[in-house]
Structure formats: structure tokens, C-alpha cells
Amino acid sequence: MSQFLKNSKRWLPGALISIALIAAILCFVDFGTMLDSIRAADFRILAIAMALSFVWLLVRAKIWQTLLRDKPVYREVLFATGEGYLLNNILPFRLGELGRAFLLSRKSGMQFGEILPTIFIERSVDLAFSAAIFLAALPFVVGTAGSERIGIIVGVLVVIGLAVMYILARNNQWALDLFHKLSARWPALQKTGGSFLESFFTGLGVLTNGWLFVRFLFWMTLDWAIALLAYYLMILAYFPQAQWTWGLFILGAAAFGGAVPSLPGAVGTFEGAVAGALTLLTNDQSTALAVALTARFYNYLNSGVIGGIGLLREGQTLSGIYQELMAFRKNEE
């Protein structure tokens, strides 16, 4: 109990956000109408979207294997990826990210410290993609003049950001030396920031290989394109009038909803982000929630199947992995 209360500063803010959004959903949604919307949905389109969830995870594993310089075999990377997403859906504190690095290190021969920075880079680029998608879709959705120009500007900014990451990867020691020089007056900042930057630049090191960098961007772009198609199909199954820009807007909102502090699996925040964004487009809160719950199932389907198979073949249990991760995390700290 003392450990539970000790960690409350970490889990309580996210729990309160999730609970508040769940309460808002319960107040404003007509669940009878929502169930009618689910029954009336085009299940043929939804079946295609659900199949794409597995394609998405297959490509996601290839992204990670590329960042790992193809050292582990693809099969092990795929199962570790599925296990990580499954753990994130169930366990607190984003332990799935730590978990997939931990599990892959045990079956690939690679060091944990060598694997973890690649996850940080993957997530950083994910955030850049989600921001670009959301901002590019926003002017189209609200009907602002000059939408195309804004979309192009966002795209250029993303390319510039990726170029900066590549330059930093090539000159990481110079950047570290500069940071230590500028932060010399603040020892606490220098210690904390220096440790963070060292891990960050270690991860960026995988991008110093030009061909690997191109491959990484190709697989990442393909993965987001698959996600965009799947989200558009899920919306289309409920709203036949849906436009492809709706998929952009909802996918960007979903990414941010999954990133804010919340209960495990982004419960409440994911549904609130997706349903809220779709309500802005349709003014139909109940059907919008039906789409959000369908997207929730989409996210659970691939990790539940692939991650579940991975845990079974390794003789692992969720409770056992949770205990191992907490012990490992404590030792690291």
C-alpha cells in the first residue's frame, strides 16, 4: 500500500483525466443510439479495416527491426512488438515500451541499453507524424482558405525536423559538448539534461547510416498510410459521407489522445479525443463514440493476438512480466 501511495503522483493525474472524460462521455452520449449505429454499420468495410490492423503491426515491427539495424530476426521483433503494445494496453506507466525492450533483449542477444533508445526515436518520429497529420488536416476540416498551402508548410516543417535529427545524429558529440558548456551554471540541469541527451543521441546514432535512414522513413510513412486508410474505413462504415480528410483529422486526434496522461491503454482519453474530433465534423456524439470504440477494438485486436501468441510461446504471464519489469525498473533507478 505504501508503494501504491508513493507512486500516486505518477498515476493520479492520468487517472483523473481519464475518469473526467469517461464521466463526460456517460453524460452526453445516448447509448441506445450508439448501439443502433453499431448495428447499422457496414461490417464489410469494418472487416477490411480490422485486417489492416495486422498489416499495420507487421510493418511496425519492420520499422523497429530497421532501427535495430536488422540484428534480431524479424519473428522475434514482431512478437516483442505485439507484446509491448499488449502490455501498454493493460499495465500502467507505459511499461509496454520498457517491456518490449526488456523481452527482446532476453531473446535476441542484444543489450537492453542498446535497444531502448531505438524505441525513443520511433516514438519521437511518431509524434512528429501525428502532429503533421493533425495540423495538415485541421484547415481542410474547418474549411479555412489556403488549406493546401498550410498542408504544404506543415509537410516542409516535418521534413526539416527529420533533417535536423539526421544532422544531430552526425554531430552528436558537438551538440553534447555545447549543451554541457551552456548548462555549466546549473549542475542539476546539466546532469538531468545531459543524461537525457546522451540517451537521445545514442538512439539517433542508428540514423547516421544514410540508407538505413531512408528505409526507416519509408517504413514509417507506409505504416502511417496504412493507419490512415484503416481509420478512414472505420469512419466510412458509420458515416457514408465521410471524406478522406476526416481520416487525417481523427487519426491525428487519436494519436494525441493516446499520448496524454491517462489510465492504462489511454482509457477515456483515446475515446474522448476520437469521439470529440468526430463530433466536431458530424455533430453526432453517439455515432462518434461508436467509431471510437471500434478504433479501440482495432488497436486491441492486433496486439491481443500477436502479443498473446508471443507470451504463450515464451511461457510468460502478464502478472509475471509486470513483477519482473517493476523489479528491473527499481534496479535501474
Instruction: Kindly state the greatest CA–CA separation across the chain.
Output: 64
Most confident region among 18-22, 59-63, 212-216 by mean pLDDT: 59-63
At 316 the pLDDT is 76
- 198 or 17, which is more confident: 17
Across 205-233, average pLDDT: 88
Does residue 146 register a pLDDT over 60? no
Domain boundaries, the chain: 32-303+315-332
Cβ atoms within 10 Å, residue 223:
21
pLDDT band at residue 4 using 50, 70 and 90 as cut-offs? very low
At 6 the pLDDT is 54
- 62 or 3, which is more confident: 62
- 145 or 83, which is more confident: 83
Does residue 324 register a pLDDT over 60? yes
At 317 the pLDDT is 72
Across 272-280, average pLDDT: 90
Does residue 181 register a pLDDT over 60? yes
pLDDT tens digits, residue range 185-203? Answer: 777 777 766 766 776 676 6
pTM over 0.85: no
pLDDT tens digits, residue range 307-321? Answer: 999 988 888 777 777
